[in-house]
Amino acid sequence: MNRSRYLASALSLRCNSRHFASSRGKMDFREKMLWSKLKSTFRDSPPAPSPASSAAAPKHFLNLNIIGTTRYPKLYSTSCSSLRCSHQRLCPYLVPRRPQQFHQDQRRTCHSWTSSFSERETVSGAVTKLMEKFEKEDIPESDVSAEYIVAHVLGVRQLSEFARIDQSRILSTEERSRVMELASQKLARVPMQYILGEWDFRDLTLKMKAPVFIPRPETEMLVDLLVSYYEEDDELDILEVGCGSGAIGLSLLHEFQKAHVTALDASRDAVMLTQENASRLGVSNRLSVHHTTLTDESPLRIHSKYGTRYDVIVSNPPYLFTRDMDDLGPEILRNEDPMALDAGAEGMDVIKAIVKHARFLLKPRGFIWLETDTRHHQMIQEWLVEHPAFSVQFNDSFLDFTDRTRFCQLQYAP
């Protein structure tokens, strides 16, 4: 993958919001979005991944498959041979599996990693042994997972740096037992993000802790949309519904130095993790986090509790259809909070709650920015037509890297 190829791929990124450019009379919205994506991608000039090894691929482009999901930016699917690409499925979290695999996974509880390494085990030898074991046990991305584990134990944060360390170095006893310990977790289908305890989202490194939802790469695009739409020094009052680890809200605070974010989550673990990540990043003074479940009831109570009206509501809410929950990969099913995923029969429970609250929470003409399933945009539009009393209009849909409508902008229009 070289820069010009990335550029060509990135230029194929389309969003059907052409009228923004003319109506706002400033930089073309699509250009701004592309520019922002390119800027953040090349900020650190990551080394190009070679077809033979995914070791040098930028970390954030690899993380999706490691947690057992099926979506990756199209542009990397040809150069990272280890990445499987599926465009057939509608939902990013669903994993195509061989019919028998799920039941085998369920029977497989916690593996004990008994085959010990030799006392003179080298870095490359350990990687190879893990890789072989993972392959045998049908662990997705066996090569990258093996490298991540050994790199982590050696204190190397990026796989690109790992490729540069002496592969013939002999592991110490402590290092060997730590590698085996982490490998056992991987064999028990613990996502790599939880094993490592941290993961990158855009420019931030966030602490990860089960069962709080692991941020997915496509959600970076939701942040990109806002970064492209607003000015850097806009004094935005932002409400995030369902903050999880804080990925979206903290990224927005990082990008908009004058913004304030109020974040809600129905999970106490998520609230605590967002607070911890905020304090690690030094942005706690512009963030307030609340343990609150946004439901159909008491919108006025929520309004009076936070006492302000927001310019923006942003959310990557739970949006899976309940019937799709069974199709989730074992990494997700066994480790991530189902409340972060399951949003009722139509996957719309939390989306509807957000829309119902909008007129109490947003300033007039304020926006709701959502990540959704690709089926939802049509459903949301129809539902809004049936419910004019909410005074919310559907403005636009935006595509993800696989050309599916995944993000939308709604507006409170009293």
Q: Which residues bind ligand SAM (CB under 6 A)?
A: 213, 215, 219, 241-245, 247-248, 264-267, 270, 293-295, 316-318, 337, 339-340, 350, 353
**140 or 244: whose CB is closer to ligand SAM?**
244
* Helix or strand holding residue 367 (H, E): strand 362-371
How are strands ordered across the β-sheet holding 287-291?
Answer: 287-291, 260-265, 237-241, 310-315, 362-371, 405-412, 392-399
Which of 110/345 has CB closer to ligand SAM? 345
Shortest spacing between CB 271 and ligand SAM, in angstroms: 9
Least distance from ligand SAM to the Cβ atom of residue 337, Å: 6
Q: How deeply is 173 buried, as exposed, middle or buried, from its count of CB atoms within 10 A (0-12, 13-18, 19+)?
A: exposed
User: Of 121 and 342, which has the nearer Cβ to ligand SAM?
Assistant: 342
Which tokens in the block code for residue 196? 């490592």
By beta-carbon proximity to ligand SAM, the closer residue of 123 and 270 is 270
Nearer to ligand SAM, 153 or 222 (CB): 222
Whole-number minimum distance, CB 91 to ligand SAM, in Å?
Answer: 12
- Quick one: 184 exposed, middle or buried, by C-beta within 10 A (0-12, 13-18, 19+)? middle
Q: Which residue number, 27 or 90, has a Cβ lying nearer to ligand SAM?
A: 90
What sign for the dihedral angle of Cα 48, 50, 51, 55? negative
Cα 205 to its chain centre, rounded Å, is: 12
Nearer to ligand SAM, 278 or 350 (CB): 350
Least distance CB 343 / ligand SAM (angstroms): 7
Smallest gap, in angstroms, from Cβ of residue 330 to ligand SAM?
Answer: 18
Q: What angle do CA 277, 409, 393 make, to 5 degrees?
A: 135
Rounded Cα distance, 294 and 243, in Å: 12
In the complex with ligand SAM, the residue whose CB is nearer, 149 or 208, is: 208
Residue pair 334/50 in contact by the 8 Å Cβ criterion: no
Q: Hey, which residues does 122 pair with through a beta bridge?
A: 170
Instruction: Output the smallest distance, CB 411 to ligand SAM, in A.
Output: 21
Instruction: For CA atoms 25, 30, 35, 41, give the dihedral sign.
Output: positive
Shortest Å, Cβ 257 to ligand SAM: 21
Burial 63-94 (b: 16+ CB within 10 A, else e): bbbbbbbbbbbbbbbebbebbeeeeebebbbb
d(CA 111, CA 133): 11
For residues 41 and 27, give the distance between their C-alpha atoms in angstroms, rounded to a whole number. Answer: 20
Q: Measure the CA–CA gap between 16 and 109, rounded to whole angstroms.
A: 46
CB of 263 to ligand SAM, least distance (A): 8
Q: Which residues are registered as beta bridge partners of 407? A: 371, 398
- In the complex with ligand SAM, which residue's Cβ is closer, 153 or 351? 351
Residue 317 beta carbon to ligand SAM: minimum distance, rounded to whole angstroms: 6
